[in-house]
A and B are shown apart, each in its own frame.
Chain A
């Protein structure tokens, strides 16, 4: 089943290459003979070829002018409605809107997010970059470099041309993979979600990390590689997960998404939290905690919140 799908994929990829070669006008007699042989080698090749012809026919049947003005409509309208639809999650920085018309290799940008903000940008080579709360990066696509200055980023590079994430504690080389890197003053944590990445720590030998593995980089070099659950939703989906986590740790994490002061009494520190919470409304997360744990939320202002043990717990 699986190998069948992968055969079909390969056949489709080959058919796409053949078609592009033929249409380019650069095919010679030998190429045509090779194509004929390829189509005869396997029923799945011929099937892919016929599918490609059917696709061309679908376009050929359309009234060209009408189809072109609908399918090649100017992008801004699409982007504006999308932006309105998805809210802050899909904000696109203005610098990028301008440079989208330009070739990717002249693109440079400094991007940052405020506390509680998250941002996603699509690079024109199909890579996508996401910034978590209170983060800053410096992107230079010409140099194929993303410099993480503070906070946390997620980078997905579908293509084979690598992008290098530079941190204070070493480099992470990403191609055909998806990775999260979180940096603070003491070190950074690299988590691979898909594919494989190469790591170059400040000290010690380079190492490779596969999907579902993470590692800490410090000034002294890389720590031990540990597994993690790459399928669990996280900040990129706008979700904060806790699995029997001490409340103190959970609140320190939650606090990074909230502007203002969040304090709690020491006796609450080791209560346990389990659940997944929406980051877009941290007030609601606090209310949920108060509903499931013996604590109360005291908000002097929206920006000054203290958690106390519940007094009238029976």
Chain B
């Protein structure tokens, strides 16, 4: 009872004091980089603060921190791999076609948001959707590329639309 009455900031403070060093060490071992590890460990504690989990009731706080930290780490690597693909594509573009420096960063942010939106879709569904939206291919052309039936493409597209639209609900 007294635990539940304790302000969340106080228990978070204890959690931070007791486990931040450990979590950062764990992240550093995986990321091989002190700054990124420190950032991500901060993010983890922020996530915990924002969640509905009662900190005082955590029996094994490190197990919980690790679960949250791993999820953030996976997002981090996903953003980074997108960034790399994006920069590589930019570099291979003729200078006169490339967006301006300001536009580049705005565009990267938009792409990251869309990448997250599409996350979790099976690879074939994702590709079908992107080809339709970005290349303007019709279902018959996509079906030929993926060597499946047009009916399957129709199902893929409905699945992709639904997946993206459900995210904000």
Which residues in A have some Cβ–Cβ distance to B below 8 Å? 5, 8-9, 12-13, 15-17, 19-21, 23-26, 48, 51-52, 55-56, 58-60, 62-73, 75, 77-78, 81-82, 84-87, 89, 100, 103, 124-126, 233, 237-239, 274-278
Which partner residue on chain B sits nearest A275 by CB separation? B59
B165–A15 touching, CB < 8 Å: yes
B99–A63 touching, CB < 8 Å: yes
B30–A16 touching, CB < 8 Å: no
B169–A239 touching, CB < 8 Å: no
B135–A64 touching, CB < 8 Å: yes
Bound-state CA distance A64–B89 (Å) is 11
Bound-state CA distance A81–B30 (Å) is 10
* Chain A residues, CB < 8 A from B74: 82, 85-86
A64–B134 touching, CB < 8 Å: yes
* Chain A residues, CB < 8 A from B139: 23-25
* Chain B residues, CB < 8 A from A9: 166, 169
Q: Does B18 contact A (CB under 8 A)?
A: no
B82–A48 touching, CB < 8 Å: no
* Chain A residues, CB < 8 A from B78: 78, 82
Known: A12-B169, A59-B114, A67-B111. A124 touches B67 (CB 8 A): no
Bound-state CA distance A274–B158 (Å) is 48
* Chain A residues, CB < 8 A from B150: 24
* Chain B residues, CB < 8 A from A62: 107, 110-111, 134
* Chain A residues, CB < 8 A from B153: 24
A12–B134 touching, CB < 8 Å: no
Bound-state CA distance A95–B157 (Å) is 28
Q: Does B84 contact A (CB under 8 A)?
A: yes
Give the interface SS of chain A, mostly helix, strand, loop or mixed: helix
* Chain A residues, CB < 8 A from B63: 233, 237-239, 276-278
A239–B60 touching, CB < 8 Å: yes
Known: A9-B166, A64-B134. A86 touches B81 (CB 8 A): no
Which partner residue on chain B sits nearest A79 by CB separation? B81
A124–B124 touching, CB < 8 Å: yes
19 contacts between A and B (CB under 8 A): A8-B169, A12-B166, A12-B169, A15-B161, A16-B161, A23-B132, A24-B154, A55-B165, A58-B114, A63-B107, A66-B89, A66-B93, A67-B114, A71-B130, A72-B131, A81-B81, A82-B77, A124-B123, A233-B63
B60–A72 touching, CB < 8 Å: no
A-B Cβ contacts below 8 A, count: 158
* Chain B residues, CB < 8 A from A52: 161, 165
15 additional A-B pairs beyond A24-B153, A64-B135, A85-B31, beta carbons within 8 Å, are A16-B158, A19-B157, A23-B132, A48-B165, A62-B111, A66-B89, A68-B131, A72-B127, A72-B131, A78-B78, A85-B76, A86-B70, A86-B73, A125-B122, A277-B60
B89–A5 touching, CB < 8 Å: no
Give 1 or 0 for each of B9-40: 1 = CB within 8 Å of chain A CB. Answer: 00000000000000000000011000000000
Bound-state CA distance A213–B83 (Å) is 45
Q: Does B133 contact A (CB under 8 A)?
A: yes
Bound-state CA distance A89–B66 (Å) is 12
Bound-state CA distance A233–B164 (Å) is 29
Which partner residue on chain B sits nearest A239 by CB separation? B63
Bound-state CA distance A48–B161 (Å) is 11
User: A212 CB to closest chain B CB, in angstroms?
Assistant: 21
* Chain B residues, CB < 8 A from A75: 123
* Chain B residues, CB < 8 A from A19: 157-158, 161
B169–A70 touching, CB < 8 Å: no
Bound-state CA distance A23–B118 (Å) is 20
Q: Does B43 contact A (CB under 8 A)?
A: no
Bound-state CA distance A84–B59 (Å) is 28
Residues of chain B in range 133-169 having any CB-CB distance to chain A below 8 Å = 133-135, 138-139, 148, 150, 153-155, 157-162, 164-166, 168-169
Question: Quick one: which of B70, B135, B157 contacts A68, CB cutoff 8 A?
Answer: B135
A51–B165 touching, CB < 8 Å: yes
Known: A16-B158, A25-B139, A277-B60. A70 touches B134 (CB 8 A): no
